[in-house]
Amino acid sequence: MATQSHYEELARQLSAIGTVKRGLGRVLPTDCPAGAAIVLMLLDRYGEMRMSKLAELLDIDMSVTSRHVAHVAERGWVDRKADPLDRRSRLLSINPSGEKLLRQVSERYTNALANCLSDWSDEDVDRLNELLARLRAGFGDTRSRALPHQVESTTRTPSQ
């Protein structure tokens, strides 16, 4: 296990990462905020899925997912059809219009990164990608272990 000072520095680095996310956000096309872009990426990468599955991949509440999806559906970038197996569910899929927009988004993200990170090698980017994936996995798999401090002093069963 790493020592405390290293974790403190990591906490600071993560607190400051907003700079980068805002920088990337500025290159997005009109009417396509970051939340919409991620939805398109995930539907493109993993194919047709339900709302609930998408919410799980996004790791956000389904109520929020619902709003992101409404946004992209209203603009004709994804299709929603009834799930024949369960009429409560909706099956989401990216359509050609959405794919076209996604290509634009990817290109702009890539250009922005290439611009700002012109001195990075493939290996540098790879290492960062791997570490970020590992970081997310650590948090994603352990959400119940990262509960607020109040839990410590109670005996109740952790929610969910």
Partner DNA sequence: TATTGTTATACTCTATAACTATA
Partner DNA sequence: TATAGTTATAGAGTATAACAATA
**Bridge partners of 20?**
none
Residue 50: name its binding partner from DNA, a second copy, none (Cβ under 5 to 8 Å by kind): DNA
Residues 38 and 160: their CA atoms lie apart, in Å, by 26
Q: How far is the CB of 123 from a second copy (least distance, A)?
A: 8
φ, ψ at 82 (rounded to 5°): -65, 140
Contact call for residue 120 and DNA (CB under 7 A):
no
Helix (H) or strand (E) holding 116: helix 96-116
Q: Which of 8, 31, 74, 86 binds a second copy (CB under 8 A)?
A: 8
Query: Locate tokens 């409404």: which residue?
Result: 70
Binding residues for a second copy, rule: CB under 8 A, are 1-4, 6-24, 26-27, 29, 34, 37-38, 41, 59-60, 106, 108-110, 112-122, 124-129, 131-136, 138-140, 142-143, 145-149
